[in-house]
Amino acid sequence: MKKKVLRKVQDEEELFPLAEDLLKIFSRKRIFVFYGNIGSGKTTFIKQFCNVLGVEDTVQSPTFAIINVYNAPEYGPVYHMDFYRIEKPEEAYDIGLEEYLDSGNYCFIEWPGKIESLLPADIATIHIRVDPDQSRIIEAKNV
């Protein structure tokens, strides 16, 4: 069954309860992909997902590392990936993408458009759009 959530977020404080809601709504999903322009708030939103999951580590953009691994005692490793810097999808194989996606652990992926052909079918997609008033329109759906 397809599920869709559309919310307007005025400030960062609204992201934690939204992340909580999305983890419940998409409770069977472990792979969440985030679309949005630079500065739209992808990493900021992923931090809130990690907070909900009880991640103990500092959550930061993996733009240069490509992947960060965080510890969530209740859930095990949480993977945060950023494919902004890769040139072609095959480069994702070099970092072990398949192992991460097949692990059953939470995977949060920024710039998934760069690796769409490698993504499994069972994912949740989150699109973030910045409105002229600087609020964010967040649309989440399962694929």
Closest CA to 63 of 41, 87, 85, 91: 85
pTM for this entry: 0.95
Sign, Cα dihedral of 64, 55, 18, 102: positive
Q: What is the pLDDT of residues 90-133, one digit of tens each?
A: 899 888 999 999 999 999 999 999 999 999 999 999 999 999 99
For residue 68, what are its two tokens? 């960060």
pLDDT band at 16 (very low <50, low <70, confident <90, very high): very high
Map tokens 């097949």 to a residue. Answer: 102
Beta-bridge partners for 31: 107
Pairwise pLDDT comparison (89 vs 34), residue with the higher score: 34
pLDDT tens sequence across 34-64: 999 999 999 999 999 999 999 999 999 988 8
Domains defined for the chain, CATH in brackets? 4-142 (3.40.50.300)
pLDDT in the model for residue 1? 56
